[in-house]
Amino acid sequence: MCDACGCSVVGETRTIEINRRLLEANEEAAARNRRHFDEKGIFAVNLIGSPGSGKTSLLEKTIVAVGDDLNIGVLEGDIETDLDAQRIRAKGVPAVQLTTGGACHLDAALIHDGLHMLERRTDGGAIDILFIENVGNLVCPSLFDLGEHMRAVLISVPEGHDKPLKYPAAVRTSHALVVSKIDLAQYFDFDMDKIRKDALSLNPSLKILATSATTGQGLEEWIGLLRGKPGNTGAP
Amino acid sequence: MKPWEQRTGKAAVHEVSVALGIIDELMRIARRNNARSVLSVRLKIGQLSGIEIGSLRFAFDAVKLEHPMLSSAELLIREIPLRYRCAECGRCFDAGGRIAVSCKACGSRDLKVVSGEEQHIENVELEI
């Protein structure tokens, strides 16, 4: 028992200065992923957005539009089931399902494991673009760097134009904002100028696209963005 | 679904992931210093870090119990206010913990975050 306060401390006390970032272990794993992507010439895209924002639909349309031009691989993040991976495989593209068993986000270690599983599935064949579809969530995935080159956040028209200001971290850490289901804008009180203005005030270098997986609007611009491979800023 | 087509992770909301990371770090430091126990850990968390302090405390107090060396470790958190500097008029202002889109003084939307993004472990107090 110590003399000062009567607590149960018996030994001497020592303060160790650390000054490490809280998520440094994840950031180190992300940096290893990024090196691996670069060595293999893989362009990695992290898709984040709410459940039902249209991430898987955008991927399906992208796969069809790209055709045989580029080899695509997909890591599908979900809490449960491999339904999304099945949808992607049905398009003829290799996909590994990452089920988090409850976690609201993917982390860099899961991506590392998933990538190796995907590479086994492709028998070492080249992957030009790796899509990582994150768990449907507009909050937690923003904090976890996966080693991606580009982060794209989807916000669909029915969710509303107020989402950038309500979920600022997702917009601040992304390179692109994809406003999905734009064909529904006529049925909703949706202000594209407002979402654009708010998103740019949070992130002035953000690329903003309006897309529809139903009509195909904006898909060409989206694929152009993927081909253009915007600079690797190491988000977040 | 075949086992090689699926990888399963550990369940967690993101504050639990953060708490698990802190605990790994504490165990590493405690072992390296041959400590008897960890008394406290001091964090610096910005209002814009995306980490909910209440959830982190709850998660930390739950997961620390798995390690006897950490069972009485106290989580000390210094919350760093969200402050902006206006690139237009140069004024700095406290945003009261809320995202600001324009300068309170001149209305410019060109704002830089001065503080509030911190998410660090500052130091650890050990019983040797």
Within a domain: residue A116?
A: yes
Within a domain: residue A134?
A: yes
Within a domain: residue B18?
A: yes
Within a domain: residue A144?
A: yes
Within a domain: residue B123?
A: yes
- Which among B10, B99, B120 is the nearest to A165, CB-wise? B99
Within a domain: residue B94?
A: no
Alpha carbon A206 to chain centroid distance?
A: 15
Q: What is the ipTM for the molecules in this complex? A: 0.76
In this structure, are residues A97 and A119 in contact, taking their beta carbons and an 8 Å threshold? Answer: no
Digits of tens for pLDDT over chain B (128 positions)?
555 566 666 545 788 889 999 999 999 999 999 999 999 999 999 998 888 899 999 999 999 999 999 999 999 999 999 999 999 999 999 988 888 888 988 988 888 899 999 999 999 999 99
Within a domain: residue A12?
A: no
Within a domain: residue A68?
A: yes
Question: Which residues of chain B have a CB within 8 Å of the CB of A167?
Answer: none
Most B CBs within 10 Å: which of A22, A93, A119, A135, as the mutation test of the B interface?
Answer: A22
In this structure, what CATH number is given to the domain that contains residue A203?
A: 3.40.50.300
Within a domain: residue B20?
A: yes
For the CA atoms of A30, A33, A37, A39, what is the dihedral angle to 10 degrees? 120
Measured distance CA(A166)–CA(A235) in Å, rounded: 20
- CA of A38 to nearest chain B CA: how many angstroms apart? 23
Within a domain: residue B68?
A: yes
- pLDDT attached to residue A4: 60
Is B74 at the interface with chain A, CB within 8 A? no
Instruction: Using DSSP bridges, classify how beta strands B74-80 and B6-8 pair: parallel, antiparallel or unpaired.
Output: unpaired
Within a domain: residue B57?
A: yes
Determine the structural domain holding residue B47 and report its residue range. 3-81+116-127
User: What is the tally of structural domains in chain B?
Assistant: 1
Determine the structural domain holding residue A185 and report its residue range. 24-227
Question: Which residues of chain B have a CB within 8 Å of the CB of A19?
Answer: 120-123
Please tell me what DSSP assigns to residue A137. B
- Which among B13, B18, B48 is the nearest to A22, CB-wise? B18
Alpha carbon of B108 to those of A73, A167, A204, A207, B58: distances in Å?
A: 43, 21, 13, 21, 39
In this structure, what CATH number is given to the domain that contains residue B27?
A: 3.30.2320.50
